[in-house]
Amino acid sequence: MKILLVDDSKSARYALRLQLQRHGVEVDTAESAEAAFVKLKGALPDAIFMDHMMPGLNGFEALEVIREDTRTSSIPIIMCTSHEEPEFVAQAKKKGVFGILPKSAAPELLPEMLEKLQGALGVSAPEPAAPAAGKAEVAAGLSEEAIVQVVDGRLEGRLSKILPALIEELRRDLSAGILKDAHHAIEERFAAEQAAKRKAAPLPTMADLQAISTRIATETVPDLIKRSLQAERTQIMELVDKHLRDALPKAGGGHAAEQAEEIAAKAAAMARRESQEAVDTAIAASHESVQALEVSLKKAKSTIFGLIALAAILGVGAAGAVFLVLSGG
């Protein structure tokens, strides 16, 4: 007996095919109703075992197509399904299903289903071929070792026809499973890496770097320069006082000497005031640019040393006036 097995599940096809072959049934398989229609255009099977739920056309829809074709309308169809409700069984029988084979109890119910199918088709159950001399003669004429060899030969011949196809289908199923697991592992690893990247601190952008640069240029650098200028201002003021002390002559007493000291003191005060203003101007310019600071600092130093020279000249002039007054007297 030849059966066409239609099921979209590889594992289900493999399991039911193996069970059918153990009962001596020749099995051809199809993975969908559409693939089964193609096979039915050739040699017709004695019966069709069809899954109920499949992508594309389901079992009932495929059954209607098969019943509309005069070549295939009389082929018995056994519906393989997980549904065992009375309503489903009644609907299946109404549509012309030969029988229902529950997937949960297929190994136990399959022999009964095959027996019922063979009775409907008028086909006897397959029996192992017996030697021409008969079983009694075989038992009487052959030794136990010879009987074992005969049985082994028959088993080997039968297995050589069944095993290659089973092994090939099992290899395909295992390969597909391995590829699926590998693909799943790669997807999980990729997802983990992406999650780690999202949790990691982001790299600074060009806008962040520009903001840092602007903050340094407007806050840190001017503050450092201001401190440096304040320290330098203190040094300059000390230098001014020293130069004034060195430049002023040591005059004697009298009214002329007092006038010379007063003129020198005014010159020194003017020098300090101008130097203070020049350095303050340089500090204020620190908020604009470093180059402006350097120019302002140079101008401040030039002004300060000019005032120092002026104070020295005034001091010398005052000393000369005092000397002339004293000499004239």
Ranges of each domain in the chain: 1-126, 145-185, 207-328
What pLDDT, on a 0 to 100 scale, did the predictor assign at position 187?
Answer: 81
What pLDDT, on a 0 to 100 scale, did the predictor assign at position 39?
Answer: 93
Rg (CA), the chain: 57
Query: In this model, does residue 136 exceed pLDDT 60?
Result: no
**What is the pLDDT averaged over residues 227-254?**
68
Q: Of 68-82, 160-174, 193-207, which gets the smallest average pLDDT?
A: 160-174
Output the 3-class SS for 185-208.
HHHHHHHHHHHHHHHCCCCCCHHH
Domain made up of 1-126: CATH architecture? 3-Layer(aba) Sandwich (3.40)
What pLDDT, on a 0 to 100 scale, did the predictor assign at position 45?
Answer: 93
Query: In this model, does residue 4 exceed pLDDT 90?
Result: yes
What pLDDT, on a 0 to 100 scale, did the predictor assign at position 89?
Answer: 87
Share of the chain above pLDDT 90, in %: 18
Give the pLDDT band (50/70/90) at residue 214.
Answer: confident
Helix, strand or coil for residue 111?
helix
- CB proximity list for 174: less than 8 A, separation 6 or greater: none
Query: In this model, does residue 3 exceed pLDDT 50?
Result: yes
Instruction: Check if the beta carbon of residue 80 is closer than 8 Å to that of residue 49.
Output: yes
User: What are the start-end ranges of the H helices in the chain?
Assistant: 10-22, 33-40, 59-68, 86-94, 106-121, 135-141, 144-199, 206-215, 221-247, 255-284, 290-328
DSSP 218: I
